[in-house]
Structures are given as structure tokens and as C-alpha cells.
Amino acid sequence: MSTALIVLAAGKGTRMDSDLPKVLHRIAHAPMLWHAMRAGRALEPEACIVVAGHEAALVEASAKDYDPEAQVVIQSQQLGTAHAVAQARPALEGFGGNAIVLYGDTPFIREETLEAMLEARAQHDVVVLGFEAADPGRYGRLVTQGDDLERIVEFKDASDEERAITLCNSGVVCAKAETLFNLIDAVGNDNASGEYYLTDIVGIARARELSATVVRCDEGETLGVNSRAELAAAERLFQTRRRAEMMDDGVSFQAPDTVFLAWDTYIGGDTEVEPNVVFGPDVTVESGARIRAFSHLEGAHVSRGSVVGPFARLRPGAELAENVHVGNFVEIKNAVLHDGVKANHLTYIGDAEIGARTNIGAGTVTCNYDGVFKHKTTIGSDAFIGSDTMLVAPVTLGNGAMTASGSTITQDVPSGALAVARARQETKPGLATKLFDKLRARKAKQIKGAE
């Protein structure tokens, strides 16, 4: 049976004290909304409906950045979760499959958990995701009888006996779309908050002799984010889990707690990551690479056997082929370095293509920007770029070309040629001594005058 996602993302998030909608605050460089949508996307849903409210235009833009086919509907008044889900009804008119309700501020639901809910849905009319809470606090409680879920009670409305229950409600629900909306039609707002609770559908379903059950998950999956402190806690949880997953997959971290990953970072097995490395979005590191300490990578691809750092920066568009060495204080942006290229010290390579086995000397800069336009530098294979060379783009150097140290290259250099572009040195014997004597005498005179 086909599946549709309904992602609730209408809340303002008052406790965030922010002009930005709560669901757009980032965890591991991606909005929380994207994390929630990614979990559901693994189910290959037929439709994804995002319910927006506060700053709906921003939420819609973000949702479509992640999934251009996502549909965004508006909850103009925040009257509760059941009311929010009801806004998705027109978008799912005629849809005969299952609907899963997710939350844009609950970013860690796993694909396997949602699959388990769909499996349970084959046997029950309504499936609710629950968890055993170490500290149940103000969570809604799940009242069960064996495998059957009898009802969900919000903390505000729970008796002392019901508050003693530790099985808590995550808010995630799965039901056939038609069933879900029919149940919502019967939800009222006669409760302590005067809101239309999605949780009420369980009691209504049981009254109609429909079955309901609970699928359990780890409490960490249900972590909701409502404040800056909780956002920081969510970041820590993401990083801890993702590092553990990578180590299980064969990645070595010398000091795991000092390495920070983006939500989409991929690192192949037998790669070694040294301390204090930061991965921004869209980074792929192939197997057997080495990322050395204090490096920062974003929008980059690092191939097998390459070494990056220490203190290196790979910016978007950096493409390192196999066995490339990028050393300390080297920055690469929008550039392809082919097999075996070495740029080991104090270098900027931007908007460039560097041929195989070429050596880039310390202090080299591709001067790619004229203040208006970016220009490309192309260097062939087996070239040698001397230290402190300025390559003023657009410029091309052929295979096996060489530049003399301290040169400013403004014209193409043919294959096999040596380019020297610097002022002729002149040496004046004894002049340094005379100049120093003159300067020291002037300084002594100034000191005496000040006394």
C-alpha cells in the first residue's frame, strides 16, 4: 500500500526566542525539518505534505529546497495537532494509502521505526509510536491493555494513576488516510488547553471498535526541540550517534568527540580522521583517505589515498583525485586536483584544474578574481610551480612546465617551458651597512632630543 507523509511544521517555537521558525533551526548544518523529511523519504512516499503556519513562506522554501515535490499547506490558526493534520486533507483527496504524521521539530525518527509502524498498520487501524521514558515528565501517557492501545491521555488531563505510566506518546501516528481524517472530524477541544488533540483519535477509534496499537522506539528518537538548550542537546545526540555509526563502518577517529559531521557527510572505511576536524555539508571522503587535524571541509570530494591537512580548508567544488596531498594552510575552492598532485604549504587554489603529479610550491596563489568575474587557471601534468608564484587567471601552463620562485605569471606557459617573471636582482656592496648606520644615528638623535 502506498504511503503519504504529513509533516507538522506550523509552530513558532516561542522558547527559541527567534524570528526564524523553529523547524528551520539547524542540526548538523541542516534544518530540523529536513531531518524529519529525510526519515520519511526512505519510505518512498507517494506524497509529502508539510503543514506550515508561522513564517510559512520560509518553511515552504526550505521544504522545497529539500524536496521540490513536497506540497505545503497552511494552518493559519494554531488550534492543535488534530487541526494541523486536518489541513492536509485537500492535498490527499482521493488518496487510498497510509498516512504517517511526523513533526518538523522531532528530527531523529529512524527509517526502521517507520517501517515497523507500517508493518503494524497491516494488523491495526491506528498505530502510535511510543517510548519508555526515563523521566516521563509532562509527556502524554499511553494507556494499554496487552498489545492494544486503549487511549492517550495528555499530562494536563491525566489522573495520578495515569501519570504513573512510563510508556509515553511521541505524537507520531500511522493510519489509513481516510480513517485518519474521519477520526479527526470527531475530535473536540473540551480539554485543559482548548485545543484539538491528535491524540484523541485513539479513544475515538476504540469507541468505533477500530484497533489501535503501539510500536516502541528508543527515547532518543523522539527527542523534540523547543529551546536553544534542547537544540544543543540534539546536536550532541546527532554527532554522538553518527560518529558511532561511522566507526562501526570502519572509520577511525583519533578523538571522536572533537570531530563534527554534517547531516550528509559520507566517509569510507579505513579512512583516518584526526582531532578537531569539521565537516560542512556535502562532503564525500572515499576509503583509505586521511584527514589530518584542524581541517575544515565543505562541498568537497576526497578520493582514495589522499591526505588533507593539517590546517587545510576544502571549500565547495574542491575535487581531489587519488593520492593527492593538500597540506597545512592550503585552501582549495572550485578546483580539480588530479592524481598525485601535491600542494603542501600556504597555498590558495581557486577556480583551477591541476594535472596529475604536479607540485605546487609554498605561497602559490591562483589570482582568480578581478573584482567582477572569476577566471580559471589550468596547469598540465608533471608541472612544477615554484614557491610564491602568482598565477593571474585566466592562464594555462602546459605539461611539464615550470615557474621560477617569486614569479607573477600573466601569460600562458607552453609545455616544458620555464617561466621567470620577476624583477632583476641588483646587489650594492656595503650599502646595507651605510643605511643601518644612518638610521641608527637618526634614532639616537631622536632619543636625545626627547630627553
Both 115 and 200 in one domain: the answer is yes
Contact 10, 261 (CB under 8 A): no
User: Number of structural domains, the chain?
Assistant: 2
Separation CA 261–CA 271 (nearest Å): 14
Both 82 and 212 in one domain: the answer is yes
In a domain, 441, yes or no: no
Which is the catalytic residue, given 29, 35, 83, 345? 345
In a domain, 246, yes or no: no
C-alpha cell at 151: 487511549
In a domain, 341, yes or no: yes
**Residue 345 falls in the annotated catalytic set:** yes
For residue 267, which of 291, 286, 248, 254 has the smallest C-alpha distance? 286
C-alpha cell at 29: 548544518
Q: Which residues pair with 267 in a beta bridge?
A: 285
From residue 70, give the alpha-carbon distance in Å to each of 10, 45, 227: 15, 10, 27
In a domain, 444, yes or no: no
Both 208 and 355 in one domain: the answer is no
Tens digit of each residue's pLDDT, the chain (451 residues): 899 999 999 988 888 889 999 999 999 999 999 999 999 998 999 999 999 999 999 999 999 999 999 999 999 988 999 999 999 999 999 999 999 999 999 999 999 999 999 999 999 999 999 999 988 888 999 999 999 999 998 888 889 999 999 999 999 999 999 999 999 999 998 877 788 989 899 999 999 999 999 999 999 999 999 999 999 999 999 999 999 999 999 999 999 999 999 999 999 999 999 999 999 999 999 999 999 999 999 999 999 999 999 999 999 999 999 999 999 999 999 999 999 999 999 999 999 999 999 999 999 999 999 999 999 999 999 999 999 999 999 999 999 999 999 999 999 999 999 999 998 889 999 999 999 999 999 999 898 888 7
Both 357 and 415 in one domain: the answer is yes
In a domain, 195, yes or no: yes
Both 194 and 313 in one domain: the answer is no
Both 293 and 149 in one domain: the answer is no
Both 194 and 304 in one domain: the answer is no
In a domain, 65, yes or no: yes
Both 210 and 281 in one domain: the answer is no
Both 256 and 190 in one domain: the answer is no
Separation CA 115–CA 104 (nearest Å): 19
In a domain, 191, yes or no: yes
C-alpha cell at 341: 598532485
Separation CA 272–CA 274 (nearest Å): 6
If phi > 0 it is left, if psi is from -120 to 50 it is alpha, else beta; for residue 77 that is beta
Both 205 and 304 in one domain: the answer is no
CATH code of the domain containing 340: 2.160.10.10
In a domain, 194, yes or no: yes
CATH code of the domain containing 65: 3.90.550.10
Both 210 and 285 in one domain: the answer is no
Contact 71, 89 (CB under 8 A): no
Separation CA 131–CA 122 (nearest Å): 21
C-alpha cell at 262: 554534517
Both 40 and 185 in one domain: the answer is yes
* pTM of the complete model: 0.89
C-alpha cell at 274: 584526526
Burial class of 327 by CB neighbour count within 10 A (0 to 12, 13 to 18, 19+): buried
Separation CA 403–CA 388 (nearest Å): 10
Domain ranges, residue 218:
3-222
Contact 399, 381 (CB under 8 A): yes
